[in-house]
Chains A and B, each alone.
Chain A
Amino acid sequence: MANIVLEKSANTVEEAIELALKELDVTEDQVEIEILEEGSKSFLGLGKQKEAKVRIILYDYAIEIARDFLGELFEKMGIDTELEFTEEDELLKINVVTKSSGMIIGRRGETLDSLQFLTGLVVNRNNTTYRKIIIDTENYRKKREETLEELANRIAAKVEKSGRNKTLEPMNPYERRIIHSTLQKNKNVETFSVGEEPNRKVVIKSIAR
């Protein structure tokens, strides 16, 4: 996503600004305002009234905010990193290039998820438009997804064979979704989740034929 530019016309400059701010659902201090036409009242009803026109620019600072936050954080942690940003609509992907990737991934991605969660909070607290943040390093997210798909298929095969339900270890919502969707096409098992976060687990259940 990039900056949002909106032009509005009304009888007066003030009205035009108000209309634009209302449409973007922001306040005046969050945007830059350019007056394109001052507008003029007709004199004693003679002549044509000229409309006022303004241009409102809502800057998207997501990358700058994320870069400042993560840059300072990694510096204080004493790890050398380089940050790569890619954007797809509201999604902002941040790839961390570092020799210390093991440290920022953590056990089963716990540290990486914490980094991602906190960066999302900081970006969306200070930015005017909502952005979903994904942080990755060394292609960990993709690899983890593949590992979970393999796990799902392997355990499902056991459940099919034995007819006994199997409960997986606790996973976060994103990981559980991968298990559910992997086994959606499998007609011999069904999946559901039990327990409360953060100990919610997927159960793979055999369907009697």
Chain B
Amino acid sequence: MKELLEMIIKALVDNPDEVNISVVEEELNTILEVRVADEDMGRIIGKRGKIAKAIRSLMKAYAIKENKRILVEIVD
């Protein structure tokens, strides 16, 4: 789960070394907290959150396949 998200985020940002994803397991959900360099925020959120939405939709497709519930949170 984390590897897939990390790979997508790293392909989008200018500073892949500063991509950090932490996994928080809750009872029902797995929360993936994404941290990137300040200047890369726009690259993973996009106009009206369009990029973030696309990332979440891909992660959702994967989660369904793995029978999991995940939430992708972008932390600033």
The distance in angstroms between the C-alpha atoms of A100 and B11, with both chains bound, is 24
Q: How big is chain A's contact interface, by range? A: 20 to 34
CB pair A121–B12 under 8 Å, yes or no, is yes
Partner of B61, one of A106, A118, A122, A125: A106
Q: What B residues does A30 contact at CB under 8 A? A: none
Q: What A residues does B3 contact at CB under 8 A? A: 76
CB pair B61–A72 under 8 Å, yes or no, is no
Is A111 part of the contact surface with B, judged by Cβ < 8 Å?
yes
The A contact surface, by secondary structure, is helix
Taking CB atoms and an 8 Å cut-off, the chain B residues in 35-71 that contact chain A are: 48, 50-51, 53-55, 57-58, 60-62, 64-65
Which chain B residues have a beta carbon within 8 Å of chain A's beta carbons? 3-4, 7-8, 11-12, 48, 50-51, 53-55, 57-58, 60-62, 64-65
Which chain A residues have a beta carbon within 8 Å of chain B's beta carbons? 69, 72-73, 76-78, 103-104, 106, 110-111, 113-115, 117-118, 121-122, 125, 197-198
